[in-house]
Amino acid sequence: MEQKKINPLHIEKLKDVVNQSPYSVLLNMKLVDLGPGFSIIEMDIEPKHLNPFGSVHGGCYASLIDSAAYWAAYCNKDEDSGFTSLDLEVTNLAMAYSGKLIATATAIKEGRSIVLCEVTMTDETGKIIAYGTSKLLSLHGRQSVSDILKSMDCEPLPVKFI
């Protein structure tokens, strides 16, 4: 089976929309790259991300890992497919206090209905801060990009595949 070619214009417009979504703005998450089986999300650390002890709250780690897993699974599924997390496992390996967090996700097994992704999160020096895995359930017509566009009142994107 020949893999469909992703439309680069779709990806660029999608990143613009995702990066303007309320939760992405709240956490300063930025989807910087995605393609078949991978994604990269960055977050510039601000005081709002810190727990009472002065380090980044583990919930920020989980949000970055969860979001990166979703987008790593995105490019190899049909245009109207979406996902929901069946589980999310996050292992916090180091504390971060400032700078940037970078979550790099890979879809390591893509079945008809389940996608398994792994995510490594580093700081800007390359130090591993957290590691996670997520099993995503593929949903036809739900939790999809069209739902994002509706909820944010955005224009349709260019076609996903060319």
CATH number of the domain residue 105 falls in:
3.10.129.10
Number of domains in the chain: 1
Is 1 part of a structural domain of the chain? Answer: no
Q: pTM here?
A: 0.96
Is 126 part of a structural domain of the chain? Answer: yes
Is 161 part of a structural domain of the chain? Answer: no
Domain that holds residue 40: 8-150
CB distance 135 to 116 below 8 Å: yes
How many other CB atoms sit within 10 Å of the CB of residue 137?
Answer: 15
Alpha-helical (H) ranges within 56-128 are 58-74
pLDDT, one tens digit per residue, over 71-109 is 999 999 998 999 999 999 999 999 999 999 999 999 999
Is 3 part of a structural domain of the chain? Answer: no
CB distance 31 to 18 below 8 Å: yes
C-alpha radius of gyration, the chain, whole number? 15
DSSP state of 150: H
Is 155 part of a structural domain of the chain? Answer: no
pLDDT, one tens digit per residue, over 131-154 is 999 999 999 999 999 999 999 999
